[in-house]
């Protein structure tokens, strides 16, 4: 076991362990999470990483069905969950401190188990996930986000995969699908030898006990590298336009709806500019005084929701600005306003003396108000390591105190001056001519 810092150790096989004990007497439980640095980007069949995560309650070698396993865990006081994103997967348990060993054993079995029941696998994939997919397909906002925006913006990478998959892809999944996914991706090290598996514990946890038992269990995994997942990113500025019948407002013919996403290529969170970009994103889209909310909701009343997101996966980074559910007859105006939020940014913060300092105060206050439950702490540690952030999330307030206007203008100039976006639009049928600037580009 190699000590990395006061919170972190690395086992000989490359698995990393992080412990963050609480000093809060009100927290009386621990959370332990295993993170694997692969998600939908590792799919051969779209949705297989997400479907595999659903197998968390499948046979564990002792209890042969999900009801028995769920009862075994919950009747001992456990809460458990799992999550799949485009680039990582987590399995989590929360329990009383004295059950730490049992929780670690459960997580170990979850990522190493290959004893899947055909009946339970079929029921979960065809039934439960199939029902989840039906709900997902009926939501135009979700469908637009994953099947239009993400697939277009991250074209050429596994991050473009639909996390949940489709009915067609679900029908192709079998038990060998999941075993193959684990054998390719659930390995101790990534391509450059970094940790591919991290186990983190926070809350009411004894650091030495956690490190020692986690090493006893996870330190026994074979020292192997996961398959390399290629990123042939093809970020092509232009417009993707789709029509959804669900955006027709039948009760008001003049109020058909549209969705908009505008994405700019920027560095990922591992880049030195990332903290400044986080603040720029805050100015673009966080709070009623953000540029998006001021121009689109407060001044013009075009929508309830206008904001922004800094998306970072692997070596890919995107600043995405979005407007959700606005009048389709105002597509041209709304796109123009979003583009102007980006293009007028330097002029705006130079001329509006109150804006920059006010949003910086707002930003620092927002960081200072952040609180993390033990399970959230585990995920923060895992994401910061996998993302290769150049700073710790616990250093955010100190870093915010160093931000100044010249620094932000310099970062803006490097990343947005003369940049061309990907514009994605979904609208009720019949409004395509309302925005024509790039429609010949696919």
Residues 388 and 262 in one domain: yes
Provide the pLDDT for residue 68. 83
- Domain of residue 254: give its range: 238-434
pLDDT tens column, 351-393 = 998 999 999 999 999 999 999 999 999 999 999 999 999 998 9
Which residue, 218, 247, 276, sits at the end of a domain?
Answer: 218
User: Within this chain, do residues 156 and 298 fall inside the same structural domain, yes or no?
Assistant: no
**How many domains does the chain divide into?**
2
Same domain assignment for residues 120 and 163 = yes
pLDDT at residue 223 in the model: 95
Overall pTM > 0.85: yes
Residue 379: predicted pLDDT: 96
Q: Are residues 213 and 243 in the same domain?
A: no
Q: What was the pLDDT predicted at 250? A: 80
Output the pLDDT for position 70: 87
Query: What is the mean pLDDT of each successive set of 10 residues along the chain, which is 442 residues long?
Result: 92 97 94 97 96 79 74 91 95 96 94 87 90 90 94 96 92 94 95 91 97 97 94 94 92 87 98 97 97 96 96 96 95 95 96 95 96 95 95 92 97 95 95 64 46
Residue 89 lies in a domain: yes
Bridge partners, residue 321, by sequence:
262, 308
């Amino acid at each position: 076991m190699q000590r990395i810092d006061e919170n972190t150790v690395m086992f000989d096989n490359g698995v990393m362990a992080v412990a963050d004990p609480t000093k809060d007497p009100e927290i009386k439980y621990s959370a332990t999470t295993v993170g694997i640095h692969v998600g939908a980007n590792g799919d051969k069949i779209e949705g297989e990483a997400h479907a595999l995560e659903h197998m968390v309650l499948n046979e564990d070698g002792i209890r042969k069905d999900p009801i028995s396993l769920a009862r075994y865990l919950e009747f001992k006081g456990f809460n458990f969950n799992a999550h799949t994103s485009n680039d990582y997967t987590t399995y989590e348990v929360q329990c009383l401190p004295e059950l730490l060993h049992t929780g670690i054993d459960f997580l170990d079995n979850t990522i190493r188990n290959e004893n899947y029941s055909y009946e339970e696998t079929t029921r979960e994939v065809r039934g439960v996930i199939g029902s989840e997919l039906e709900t997902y397909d009926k939501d135009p906002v979700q469908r637009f986000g994953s099947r239009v925006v993400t697939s277009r913006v991250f074209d050429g990478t596994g991050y473009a995969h639909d996390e949940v998959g489709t009915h067609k892809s679900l029908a192709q999944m079998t038990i060998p699908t999941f075993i193959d996914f684990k054998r390719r991706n659930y390995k101790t090290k990534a391509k450059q030898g970094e940790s591919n598996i991290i186990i983190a514990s926070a809350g009411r946890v004894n650091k030495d006990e956690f490190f020692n038992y986690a090493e006893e269990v996870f330190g026994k995994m074979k020292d192997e590298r996961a398959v390399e997942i290629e990123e042939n990113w093809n970020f092509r500025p232009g417009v993707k336009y789709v029509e959804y019948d669900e955006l027709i407002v039948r009760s008001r013919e003049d109020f058909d709806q549209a969705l908009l996403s505008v994405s700019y290529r920027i560095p990922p969170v591992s880049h030195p500019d990332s903290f400044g970009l986080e603040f720029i994103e805050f100015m673009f889209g966080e709070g009623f005084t953000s540029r998006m909310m001021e121009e689109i909701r407060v001044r013009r009343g075009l929508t309830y929701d206008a904001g922004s997101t800094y998306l970072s996966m692997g070596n890919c980074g995107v600043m995405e600005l979005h407007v959700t559910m606005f009048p389709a007859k105002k597509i041209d105006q709304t796109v123009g306003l979003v583009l102007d939020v980006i293009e007028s940014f330097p002029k705006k913060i130079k001329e509006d003396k109150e804006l920059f300092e006010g949003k910086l105060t707002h930003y620092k206050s927002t960081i200072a108000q952040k609180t993390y439950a033990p399970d959230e702490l585990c995920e923060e540690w895992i994401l910061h390591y996998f993302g290769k952030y150049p700073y710790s999330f616990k250093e955010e307030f100190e870093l915010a105190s160093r931000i100044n206007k010249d620094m932000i203008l310099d970062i803006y100039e490097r990343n947005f001056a003369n940049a061309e976006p990907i514009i994605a639009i979904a609208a009720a049928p019949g409004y395509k001519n309302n925005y024509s600037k790039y429609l010949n580009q696919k």
